[in-house]
Structure 1
Amino acid sequence: MGLSCISMALSDFYASHGHYKTRLALEIRDSKRDVVGAAAAALDLLQNEEVQVIIGPATSMQANFVIYLGDKAHVPIISFSATSPSLSSLQSRYFVRATLNDSAQVPAIRAIVQAFGWRQVLLIYLDNEYGNGVLPYLTDPLQEIDTRISYRSVIHPLATDDQILEELYKLMTMSTREFSFTLDDSVIDSMQGVLGVKPHVPRSKELESFKIRWKRKIQQEYPTNESFELNIFGLWAYDAASGLAMAIEKLGATNFSFQKSNTSRNSTDLDTVGVSQIGPNLLQSLLSTRFKGLSGHFQIFNRQLRSSAFQVVNVIGKGERGVGFWTPENGTVRKLHSTSKANLGTIVWPGELPSVPKGWVLPTNEKKMRIEVPVTKGSGKFVKVTRDPSTNAMEVTGFSIAVFENRYDQ
């Protein structure tokens, strides 16, 4: 998907900027979604093709060595899909993340937990770099609002259905009922009543046109495969390629050569990697590029895409419904351009419950609490017991009962 979006971005860009003097030429290598494959592909592009920039790698796990090569060769490495916060700790000069860092969603998650007053949460995450990456950034923000992480449930990426069911039963024996997930899209499809956050993509005529053209292109290239769907990473790939084309044009005709390294007989392949003469200037040109892209406002800040708004969605089966937004300026709001702190839209909770979950229930392996209520004559101000004539059930009301129920709900 990323490659199709990149090629369409360059085609669209130069079709509308025919007077530009520079052109980007694509040299394509397949990393086969493998760490070693990504390293080999990047090394080949730098040694044999002397490319001035690399768009990739596809995943965070492939990124470390590719980023090292970019720093060594002074070649910008632009990724539209490596989202792990751990990559920021590398402090690479030439790594540019044209995507959101996973930790950018933490303030929105924190705001939702705070809005509903949940005091305990349980984390469920995949045991890989994607799942583990955001966890360190969740702990402190939740503690700041007096919310405790009561348990961490780790799901292996290759876990069987039986193993997952065993873990889910373990969760049912616990009292906490508010979960925070860091799972991939294939798992989200099976959820009912879940609240989630995702980057907000503003509607535009350009976006709608691109969706139609992209779908037509994919159907022509893969007529028997109907599983391809355009997502936010495809839009970020499109915008990254467009931004790079702008950055190159700002530099104009210049020295696109590599300075070769002095090598000896004992030199390794890494020693033969040259140094781009345009790399530093190209990096600065890219970092200063700003425009309105398909995914929204494109601006690189601290070498990653500047975070803006998140949409709060209610996941219902394979669909989702927007119920509000979160912005750094206004927090959680019903409408995007409003400063009103009105509640989110109507939410369908798990089990199709209409009311907000308390955040905890009695565990399935615990006995229910039985409370005896004394029936006395006199004023029913504190405790009053009546019988419903239609159901014959006992109803207990009064000031003492109201105080107890209030504390119980907390």
Structure 2
Amino acid sequence: MMLKQILNSKFMGVTGDVQFGQDQNLIHPAYEILNIAGTGLRQIGFWSNHSGLSTAVPEKVYNKTLNSSNANHQLYSVIWPGQIADTPRGWVFPNNGKILRIGVPYRASYREFLTKDNSPDGVQGYCIDVFKAAVNLLPYPVPYKFTLFGDGKKNPNYNDLVQNVANNVFSAAVGDSHNYKPYQNS
């Protein structure tokens, strides 16, 4: 009943009209693209299914036939860290930069997801492969080191692993969500 109520709703939201079609997707979805720097923000443009990237307000574009040239897909300029307008080529970590410490649950079960091994990383598995693939997509190098969390005889407590990230023991954590229960700070 709740889903039916949501799908039947129609109102004006922050991004414009909110209304769902027969396929349960938003009719005329649109997103504003913002550049946030320090305490300020700048409008860069908009994205919609109809116009793609554009500086034109999507509500005004939906009723027009589009010119599909690249000129229509320009955005306002971005101000990058350091208050520069030129797009940086990528971030470079200095030779003495801090290596990210990645916490990895040392599990007793589901070893195809994560397990200790004798490779240079010291771990292997599906979760590690996904992490490495994501890091390899970045346009800059990110130095990291995997650190096992747990004894390998029983599955570690994932709430403790997440708390170690919050406490800056680890920079991040990589793992599956098996037996994860959302952390509740009491």
Q: State TM-score, norm by structure 2.
A: 0.36
Which has more radius of gyration? 1
Structure (1/2) with the larger helix percentage: 1
| Structure richer in strand, relative to its length | 2
